[in-house]
């Protein structure tokens, strides 16, 4: 599968919808409540305008970046999303292979349906991070952390913005039916994989993580810790004070709290506040190479994409994931060429006008 331009990516989205079961598509696509944030995430990046520099040497473009000590060839990561077996029979194993083939760092989700060991092995040694939902029992969480370290994961990403699940009327109308053979195999007891929108979880505080828990996690974890779901500079700085090495600016793709600020609106503020004290990343509505360049110019060290790799996974397995990530990388290179930006260090705030 080859994606030549944004039209092809849009077509891939529709192809993915055709091949997915209806409930799988809704699980992938839906947002919370009126789905305002889902839409505004995309629009916010497009509203930002680029101010290209002329007469620069752009014959050689370098998109290489170091992410918490791991050198990768692209600043575009695959965001943590759950239950990949709903989209392809190989699930996270195919996602890991496709990401590695594209030179992109993959962040595996706690709610994956393949073991951390098998996913690490599928990545063939490519850098991978693990996303964590903090469990109530610290002993069980610690055991999972140790498994991730032993498997070769390079960093831990704590999701902070889903202490309780949001609600999606669309997902409620087309639910993923829980089955005994579909389980979150890395969680304690390998529970049946229910989505956050399951009526049984409505209003339930599932992951009530606090700064005390974060401090414990930073001290206990042998990997650097990143906090995902930050939308405020004061929260970012408090996380850094605790010892966090990375801040992931995210509103969970608009999937839990509707009408939040978009990530495009706050990435600059948070990156400025954090400075060199931690690395800053951003996700939410990034669909084009120009979106990526804008995010980098506003202070992100890297970006993450969630839904597009799932479209590729559903249509063509590992090769589909690889095609999506390579397409975004190609678009980034072209945007850098056309704006006189030969390296990521040259992507500075003056490149963007609100």
List the catalytic residues: 252
**Beta strands 246-249 and 225-230: pairing type?**
parallel
Q: 33 exposed, middle or buried (CB, 10 Å; 0-12, 13-18, 19+)?
A: middle
Q: Which residues contact 309 (CB under 8 A, 6 or more apart)?
A: 78, 79, 81, 95, 98, 99, 321, 324, 325
Burial of 19 (0-12, 13-18, 19+ CB in 10 A): middle
DSSP secondary structure of 28-56: HH--STT-HHHHHHHHHHHHSEE-PPPS-
Q: Helix or strand or coil: residue 264? A: helix
Residues 6+ apart with CB under 8 A from 259: 33, 36, 37
Pairing of strands 65-67, 246-249: unpaired
Taking residue 199's Cβ as centre, other Cβ atoms within 10 Å add up to 10
Who contacts 342 (Cβ-Cβ below 8 Å, separation ≥6)? Answer: 56, 57, 58, 60, 61, 62, 336
Cβ neighbours for 127, distance < 8 A, ≥ 6 positions apart: 67, 70, 72, 105, 154
CA–CA gap between residue 46 and residue 198 (Å, rounded): 33
């Amino acid at each position: 599968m080859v994606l030549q331009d944004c039209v092809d990516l849009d077509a891939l989205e529709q192809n993915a919808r055709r091949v997915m079961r209806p409930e799988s598509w809704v699980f992938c696509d839906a947002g919370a409540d009126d789905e305002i944030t889902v839409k505004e995430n995309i629009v916010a990046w497009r509203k930002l305008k680029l101010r290209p520099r002329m007469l620069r040497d752009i014959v050689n473009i370098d998109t290489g970046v170091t992410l918490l000590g791991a050198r990768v060839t692209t600043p575009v990561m695959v965001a943590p999303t759950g239950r990949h077996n709903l989209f392809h029979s190989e699930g996270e194993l195919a996602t890991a292979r496709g990401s590695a083939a594209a030179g992109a760092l993959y962040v595996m989700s706690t709610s994956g349906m393949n073991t951390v060991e098998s996913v690490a092995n599928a990545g063939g040694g490519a850098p991978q991070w693990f996303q964590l939902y903090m469990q109530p029992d610290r002993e069980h969480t610690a055991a999972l952390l140790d498994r991730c370290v032993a498997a070769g994961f390079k960093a831990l990403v704590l999701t902070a913005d889903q202490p309780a699940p949001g609600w999606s009327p669309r997902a409620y109308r087309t639910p993923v039916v829980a089955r005994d053979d579909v389980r979150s195999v890395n969680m304690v007891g390998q529970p049946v994989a229910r989505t956050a929108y399951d009526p049984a979880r409505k209003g339930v505080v599932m992951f009530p993580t606090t700064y005390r828990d974060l401090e414990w996690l930073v001290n206990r974890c042998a990997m650097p810790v990143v906090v995902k779901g930050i939308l405020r500079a004061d929260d970012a700085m408090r996380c850094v004070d605790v010892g966090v090495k990375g801040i992931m600016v995210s509103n969970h793709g608009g999937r839990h709290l509707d009408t939040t600020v978009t990530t495009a609106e706050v990435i600059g503020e948070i990156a400025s506040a954090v400075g060199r004290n931690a690395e800053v990343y951003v996700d939410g509505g990034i669909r084009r190479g120009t979106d990526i360049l804008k995010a980098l110019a506003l202070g992100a060290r890297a970006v993450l994409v969630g839904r597009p790799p799932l479209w590729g996974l559903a249509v063509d397995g590992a090769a589909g994931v690889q095609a999506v990530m390579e397409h975004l990388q190609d678009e980034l290179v072209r945007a850098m060429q056309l704006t006189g930006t030969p390296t990521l260090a040259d992507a500075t705030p003056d490149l963007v006008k609100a």
